[in-house]
Structure 1
């Protein structure tokens, strides 16, 4: 698994983001390319400490006990995986501004594990820096594959 903490892994994701265009179509799902990039910013904001989410306790228990192992153990996310309501995007977003913001947040990971400002995932519970990195990598990779890059 690649890492956002490494120069190579981080640049891999940025290069793929830079291959997107306003007219890039998804290979599955309902999001447009601008919605996808905005959607990807949300989880990065959680890990960087810019967004604090509260999870329904029943859903959090389900996530910590059943879903976590499946997601963390999988090589990649499956197509049409469920999305947390806080990350659903239905509006239109400025393509270039959203791309710039997404790339800047990905670049923050080059600074290393200290950029991670929480050790509690709202759905999966306590996580190490390596687990956060792994989860963010898988999420970004999933959506970039969704748009063919």
Structure 2
């Protein structure tokens, strides 16, 4: 599994984001491109301690879903989104795109940190797992828009 802590992988993600336009249409799901950019900011903000969603730790999530966050198996299309991470209101394409790119860079710059705070729902992740999880989430949503 690729990691957002790998500079080449980070650059690949950024290049894919730059290929999207305000007119990009999703292959599945309900979010438009601007909403997807906004949604993809949540996991990065959680890792960077900029967002503290009122999620409760879940034994079920830890036992059955945690490994799926960073393993090599692709996520299924149209997986349900946690209610706290759903985006239904309109967003501004360029603002959300730039914010997402900024957060990707900020996260990637933390590659030397070895101890990370636990995820509010899944608990402790290693640095390696955080990097893979961030990549997997971004990759999933870029594939949603055929990029």
TM-score, normalized by length of structure 1?
0.90
Tell me if the contact between 2:2 and 2:135 (Cα under 8 Å) persists in the aligned partners: yes
* Residue 24 (structure 1) aligns with: 24
Counterpart position of 2:52: 52
Q: Aligned to 2:66, what secondary structure does the other structure show?
A: helix
Unaligned runs of 5+ in 1: none
The partner residue of 1:62 within 60, 66, 85 is 60
Q: Does structure 1 retain, via aligned residues, the 8 Å contact 2:61–2:122? A: yes
Question: Any idea what the Cα deviations from partners look like across 1:5-29, whole Å, max 9, x if unmatched?
Answer: 1221000000001111111000001
Q: Secondary structure at the match of 2:70?
A: helix
Deviates more, 1:119-128 or 1:67-76: 67-76
Give the CA RMSD over aligned residues: 1.8
Q: Deviations over 1:16-75 (max 9, x none)?
A: 011111110000011100000000011110001101123235xx1110112223443343
Give the number of equivalent residue pairs.
147
Corresponding residue for residue 125 of structure 2: 127
The alpha-carbon deviation at position 116 of structure 1 amounts to: 8.3
5+ long unaligned stretches in structure 2: none
Structure with greater helix percent: 1
| TM-score in terms of structure 2 length | 0.91
